[in-house]
Structure 1
Amino acid sequence: MRFVWAVAAFVLAALMLGAGIAQRTVFQGPTAQSETIEVAEEVPYLLVDGAVLRSQPGSQTLRAQGEGEIFAAYGRTADLEAWLAGSEYAHIKLDGEAIESEVVAPETEPTAEGETAPAPARNPAGSDLWLDEFVQEDLLIETLQLPEGMSVLVAADGVAPAPSKLIVTWPLVNATPWAGPLFVGGTILMAVGVVLYFLAIRNVRRSRGPRRKGLPMPPAPQPADMSVEQSDKGVISASPTRRALSGKRRGFLVVPAVAVSALLFAGCSSDAWPQLGGTPTPTPTATVITPESQQAPAVTEAQAERILQRIADQVATADQTSDAAAAAVRLTGPALAERETNYRLRAAIAEEEPLPAVPAGPLTVLLPQAYDEWPRTFMAVVGDEESGNTIMFVTQADPWSEYKLSYIGSLDSTTELPLAPEYVGATQVSPDNAFLAVAPEDLAAAYADVLDSGADSAYSDLFDEAADQFRIGVANDRQARLAAFNETGAQTGSLAFDSVPGTQQPVALATLENGAIVAVTINENETVKPTNADAVIKLDGNPTVSTLAGATQSATGFTTTFGDQLFFYVPAKASSERIQLLGYTSNILDAKVIP
C-alpha cells in the first residue's frame, strides 16, 4: 500500500510542478507592450510629451536608433519648450488615445535688414536646464519614470536630424499568484513520496516476501558450490552488485527532482504569490503647505550639485591660466570682478597668490527660487566644518545660458534660518520691499554707514553687532593703518576711509517667516593724498597698488578700492530680531591715481 501512496504522491507532485511551470512560461503571456512612433519630417529635435510616456502604467523604456551620437534629456515641459523656442522641432503628443507628431515651426524675429531668420542651431548636450541627460552611440535605450509635468527631448547634435523612429515600451502586469503555492505544494508532495517509497522498500526487505501457515517449510539452503566453471565466475557476485547499483540509481533519480523543485521555489518572485491583506497605511509625515500661486523651484538638489560642479571645474581651469574670458563662462558680477583683478596682479607679480578655489560641495543647504521665467536664481551653502562653509548665489539669465556664480562668501554665522525645503523653493524679494527691516536696495548704504560711523550711525541698532566679525575686522584694520601712516607720513599727507554701495544689484530670496536672505556689495575706498603742495605720494614696497594704478608715485595721491560681498539675514519689519551678517568675502578690486 505504501508503494501506491508513494506513486500517487509522485503523480500529484508532477502535476502541481508542471502546472506551476506552465503558469510561469506558456500561460503567462507577454510581459511588455510597445508603441512605435515615427516622424516623417527631418527635424533636429523631438519633444516627447510626458503624457505619451505616461499613457500606460509603469516605467517607460525609450529606445531611439540612428547614426552617431544620440542625445536624450528630460526636464520640466515648460523648460523644454522655452529652450526650443526659435527652433524647428517635432512635438510628439497624445491626442485622445492616439499618438501624433506635429512639426512646430520656429519663431523668428526680424533682422536689421527687415528679414527673418531662425534661431541658430544649438547642441542640447550639457545644458544646465535638464534634470538628467543621456548620450549613447547609434542606439539609445533608457528606462524612465517621469511624473506629471515632465517631458523628454531627443536629438543628435542640434544640426543633424534627430532619430525619426522611437519605440516606447511599458511593462505588463502579468502576475501568476498560484505559481508559488503550486511549486511549494509539489515540492512537499515529492518529499512525501520519497519518504513513502523508502518505507515501502524497507518493509519488503524485512518481510522477505509473504508466508502461509500449514505449508511445508522449504528445504534448507545448501552451501554454494565454489567449484563452478570459469565461465560462471562472477555470476554469484554480479546480482548483489546490480541490486546495489539499482538502489543507488533510484535514490539518485529522486534527489534531482527535489532539487529542481527547490530551485523553482527559490526563483519565484513576489508576483508568483497571492497578495493577502490590504494596502498598508503610510506613516504620516510633516508637510509644507505651498501656496497655489507659487511656481516650481528653479533647480532640484541633484541639478544644483551638477551645476556647482561645472562652475567649480570651469573656474579652476580659468585660474590655472589666469584667463578672464574662461572665468566669465561661469562667473558674473562681483564674483567675476574680483577674479579679473587677481588675474591682472598674478600676471605682473610673481608672488601674488590666487584666490581660493570655488568649492563644489558637499551641498548642505539649497534654496532655489520658485519661478517659471528668467532670470532664475538659487542660493547654496557648500562645505563642511573641517574645510569651512561657503555661501553662494547662482543665476541663469535665459534658457540657453549657463548658470553663473554672482556672489560668493565664507559663511561666518551658524544661525539656523527658517528656510523652505528645496522642493518648495522661495520667491525672490523685490529690491524695494517695504516689509523687511531694511529694503534690499537700501541695505548696502545702511551697512556702509555703519562701517564708517560705527555706533554713531543711525542704522547701528538695526544690525546685530555681536555676531558681526566682519565689522570688527574692518574697524581694527583701519585703526592699524591709520596708526602706521601717522608714524611715517602724517606731516605731508592724509589717509581716509569711506564705504559706498557697490554697483551690483542686490539679490534676495524670501524665508518662511517673511524675512529674506540678501546679498549686496560694498566698495571700501582707501584714499591717500598729499597735504603739502611739494609732497609726492610714493608706493614704495606696494606692488599691488602700483600695478593696478599704473604708477609708482603721484602728486595728487591714490585711491584703492576693496570689494566686499556681504550676505545678510534681514527679518521682517514687525520682528524684534536684528539684521544678521551671515557671510562675506573682501578682495582688492582696483587702484587709481587721483586726477
Structure 2
Amino acid sequence: MRFVWAVAAFVVAAVLIGAGIAQRTVFHGPSTQSAEIALTDDSPYTVIDGAVLNALPGTQTLKVEGDDGVFVAYGRTADVSAWLADQKYTAVAAGEENSIVSTVVEPEPTPSSTTTPDAATPDAATETDAAAETDAATDGSAPETTPTRSPVGSDLWLAEYSDPAAVVAPLQLPPTMSVLVASDGTNAAPASISITWDVSQSTPWSGPLILLGIIVLVGGVVLYVLAIRHARRSRGPRRKAPPPLLETQPIDVSIEAAEKGVITAGPTTRRSGRRKAVIAVPALVGAALLFTGCSADAWPQLAPTPTPSATAPIVDSDEQQAPAVTEGQARQILARISETVAQADEARDATLAGTRLTGAALAERATNYTLRGSIADYTALPAIPSEPTQIILPQAYDGWPRTVMAVVQNNASDATTSTIMMMTQADAWSEYKLSYLGNLGGSTEMPDLAPAYIGAAQVPPGSSFLLVAPDQLASAYADVLSNGDQSSFAGLFDEQSDLFSESVAADRQKRLDAFNTTATNTGTLEFSSAAGANAPLALATLESGAIVAVTVTETDTVKPANEDVVIKFEGNPTVQALTGVAESKSGVSTTFADQLFFYVPAQSSTEKVRLLGYSSNILEAKVL
C-alpha cells in the first residue's frame, strides 16, 4: 500500500509542477503589445496625445521611420499645443475602446478688429495694427501667416531625438504630456509610427503550484523509501548461509564465471544508487525553486497596495498653474545659454549673444565686445556657468511671458561664490533669454523658496503687498546710492547685507579726491544714479516676500570749468574707445549698469530689504 501512496504522490507532484511550469511557458501571454498609427494627411507635424501612450499600462516604446529625417520630442501637452497654435498638424488621440483616431488641426485665424479707423486720422490704422501686434506679442497668439519652422532645439521640449532614418525612443510619459513627430518642419511628418507597450504577464499561482509540487514530490520519495524498508523487514525466514571458507582455500573466480554473470567479491551498487537518489531530490528541488524564485510576478501579492492618505493638498489644483520648466529642462536651457554666450564671447558677436541674452545682460556684453576689439588686453566678462545648479525656481504660469530663476555655483571645487540669474521666455516660439545676472557671496542667506516642481508666482510690478513695490525698488536704491544715509529710503535697506552701496560710496570718494588733486579749478566731476530702463522681475517666496531683480544706472559726468579747458582721454582708453574721440571741450559722461537682486519682505514683516547679489559693468560713454 505504501508503494501505491508513493506512486500517487509522484503523479500529483508531476501534475502540480507541470501546471506551474506551463503557466510560465505554454500558457504565458506575449510580453509586448504594439499598435500602428495610420496617418492620412501630409502635415509637417504630428502630435501624439498622452492618452494614446497610456492606453495600456507599462513602459512605452515609440518607433518612427521616415525618408526625410526623423525628429521626435515630448513636452507638456499645453506647451506643444501652444507651439503649434499657428501651424497645421495631425493630432493623434485615443478613441473608444482603446482605438487610435487621427484628425487634421488647422491653425485658428487671428481675430481682426471690426472697428474702422477714422479717415481723418491717418495714423489710426497704424496705431490699430501696432496695438494688434503688441497684443499678439503679449498674449502669445500667433500671427496670421507663419511659415513652417524647425522644432529642433526648442526650450519647450523636455527631451528630443533625431535620426536620418528612424528613431526608437523608450518612454514613460504621463497623460499630461504629448509627443511631437516631424521631419524638418517643412516636409511631411514621417508616416510610419508604432507604439509598443511592455505588457505585464503575471502568473501569481505559478510559484505556489511548483512549490507545492516539490513538497508532494519530497513526500513521495519519503513514502517510497519507507515502503522499501518495510518490504525488507517483512520478508520471511531465509536459508541458512553456508559455512565460511577456510582461509587457505582459494576463491575460484574464473573468467567464464565472470562472463556468465556470476557476482564477484566487489562492493554492491545498491548503496551508491541510494546516494544518487538522495542527491537527485535536492537538485530537483533547487532547480524548481530557481525557476520560480527569480521572478516576483510568479507569486501572489498578499500585502495590500499602499494608498496615499487623504491629506489636504499643498496648493489648490484648480488655481495653481504648472511650473514653467522642470529642473532637468532648466539645466538644459542653462547649458544652451552658456554654450551660445561662450561662442559669442569668443567671436565678439553681439548678434549671436542676442539670441540668448536680453536687457542689461546683453547691453553690457555688447559694450565689452567693443572694448575688447579696441583694447588688446581688455578683460572679457566672466563666462556664464551652467552647473552645478543650487536653486531652480520656475514661475508657476501656463501662459507667456515666463520667468525662471536659477542659482549656479561658480566653481565646483569652490563654493564661496555663486551666480544668480533670471531667464525669460517671451512666447512659445522664443527661446529663454538671460535678462539679469549677478554674483552671490558665500555668506548670502537666501529666503525660503518653493520647490521646483511647484514653482512660484510672479509678483506684479506695482504690488502693494511688499515693503517696496518692485517698480519702485530701483529708484529707491538709486537714491540711496546718491545720498547715502541722508536718503529718505535708507531705512528700508539692511546695512549689513548691503556691501555694494558701501563700495560705491568709497570708490566715488576716492575718484573725487584724485580728480580734485589733478584738475583743480579746471573741471568738475559729478555722480548720479537712476533706475534702469529694464522692467523688474519678481518671484514670490514662501514668506509672502519676493526676490526682485532690477537695474540701476550710475553716471559719472566730467565737465570743463570754462571754454578754454579741453578734456583729453589719453589716460582713459575705455572712454576713448567708446566715444571714438581723443578729447572733448564740452565734457563726457560714463554710465555703468548695476544688476541687483534683492529680497523684499512682505508689507507686514519686520525685516528690511536685503541685497542678495549684484554685478556692475560699464555700459556706455558719450561726449556731452
The TM-score, its normalising length taken from structure 2, stands at: 0.85
Would the aligned equivalents of 1:79 and 1:399 in 2 still touch at CA under 8 Å?
Answer: yes
Would the aligned equivalents of 2:49 and 2:175 in 1 still touch at CA under 8 Å?
Answer: no
Is 1:357 aligned to 2:366, yes or no?
no
CA 1:425–1:570: 2 relative to 1, 3 Å: same
Would the aligned equivalents of 1:107 and 1:118 in 2 still touch at CA under 8 Å?
Answer: no
CA RMSD of aligned residues (A): 3.2
In the TM superposition, 1:356-435 aligns within 5 A as 356-383=382-409, 386=415, 388-412=417-441, 414-435=444-465
Q: Quick one: which amino acid aligns to residue 420 of structure 2?
A: I
Would the aligned equivalents of 1:44 and 1:89 in 2 still touch at CA under 8 Å?
Answer: yes
CA 1:58–1:527: 2 relative to 1, 3 Å: same
Per mean C-alpha deviation after superposition, the further-off stretch among 334-343 and 22-31 is: 22-31
CA 1:227–1:449: 2 relative to 1, 3 Å: closer
CA 1:259–1:67: 2 relative to 1, 3 Å: farther
Q: Give me the whole-angstrom Cα distance separating, in 2, the residues matched to 1:554 and 1:253.
A: 106
Q: 1:247 Cα deviation (Å)?
A: 6.2
Aligned to 1:512: 542
Aligned to 1:441: 471
Q: Give me the whole-angstrom Cα distance separating, in 1, the residues matched to 2:582 and 2:316.
A: 60
Q: 1:403 Cα deviation (Å)?
A: 0.6
1:189-217 Cα shifts (integer Å, max 9, x gaps): 4445556666777888xx6x87644x652
Q: Quick one: which amino acid aligns to residue 152 of structure 1?
A: V
1:134-178 Cα shifts (integer Å, max 9, x gaps): 334533333433334322211222123222243333454533221
Q: Give me the whole-angstrom Cα distance separating, in 2, the residues matched to 1:266 and 1:95.
A: 40
Q: 1:7 Cα deviation (Å)?
A: 4.5
Q: 1:133 Cα deviation (Å)?
A: 2.2
Q: 1:37 Cα deviation (Å)?
A: 2.0
Aligned to 2:240: 217
1:197-251 Cα shifts (integer Å, max 9, x gaps): 66777888xx6x87644x6524346666446248957976697587688667656
Q: Quick one: which amino acid aligns to residue 514 of structure 1?
A: S
Is 1:181 aligned to 2:208, yes or no?
yes
Is 1:484 aligned to 2:511, yes or no?
no
1:445-492 Cα shifts (integer Å, max 9, x gaps): 111111000111111111112210111110111111112222222232
Q: Quick one: which amino acid aligns to residue 489 of structure 1?
A: A
Aligned to 1:575: 605
Would the aligned equivalents of 1:183 and 1:264 in 2 still touch at CA under 8 Å?
Answer: no
Would the aligned equivalents of 1:108 and 1:118 in 2 still touch at CA under 8 Å?
Answer: no
In the TM superposition, 1:281-292 aligns within 5 A as 281-282=307-308, 288-290=314-316, 292=318
Per mean C-alpha deviation after superposition, the further-off stretch among 485-494 and 228-237 is: 228-237
Per mean C-alpha deviation after superposition, the further-off stretch among 554-563 and 172-181 is: 172-181
How many residues matched? 586
The TM-score, its normalising length taken from structure 1, stands at: 0.89
Would the aligned equivalents of 1:186 and 1:261 in 2 still touch at CA under 8 Å?
Answer: no
Q: Quick one: which amino acid aligns to residue 386 of structure 1?
A: A
Q: 1:406 Cα deviation (Å)?
A: 0.6
In the TM superposition, 1:200-239 aligns within 5 A as 212-213=236-237, 216-220=239-243, 225-226=251-252, 228-229=254-255, 232=258
Aligned to 1:70: 70
Q: Alignment partner for residue 147 of structure 1, among 157, 170, 174?
A: 174
Q: Alignment partner for residue 342 of structure 1, among 357, 364, 368?
A: 368
Would the aligned equivalents of 2:53 and 2:175 in 1 still touch at CA under 8 Å?
Answer: no
In the TM superposition, 1:105-124 aligns within 5 A as 105-107=106-108, 118-124=145-151
Would the aligned equivalents of 1:60 and 1:143 in 2 still touch at CA under 8 Å?
Answer: yes
Q: Alignment partner for residue 191 of structure 2, among 150, 164, 177?
A: 164
Per mean C-alpha deviation after superposition, the further-off stretch among 501-510 and 463-472 is: 501-510
Q: Give me the whole-angstrom Cα distance separating, in 2, the residues matched to 1:332 and 1:238.
A: 104
Is 1:38 aligned to 2:38, yes or no?
yes
Flag structure 2 segments of 5+ consecutive residues without an equivalent: 113-124, 126-142
Q: Give me the whole-angstrom Cα distance separating, in 1, the residues matched to 2:315 and 2:17.
A: 54
1:524-563 Cα shifts (integer Å, max 9, x gaps): 1111222143222223332222211212322222211111
Q: Give me the whole-angstrom Cα distance separating, in 2, the residues matched to 1:291 and 1:437.
A: 29
- Percent of pairs identical after alignment? 53
Q: Quick one: which amino acid aligns to residue 379 of structure 1?
A: M
Q: Quick one: which amino acid aligns to residue 494 of structure 1?
A: T
Aligned to 1:52: 52
In the TM superposition, 1:465-480 aligns within 5 A as 465-480=495-510
Per mean C-alpha deviation after superposition, the further-off stretch among 170-179 and 458-467 is: 170-179
Q: 1:516 Cα deviation (Å)?
A: 2.1
Would the aligned equivalents of 2:3 and 2:224 in 1 still touch at CA under 8 Å?
Answer: yes
In the TM superposition, 1:260-299 aligns within 5 A as 260-269=287-296, 271-282=297-308, 288-290=314-316, 292-299=318-325
Q: Give me the whole-angstrom Cα distance separating, in 1, the residues matched to 2:399 and 2:239.
A: 112
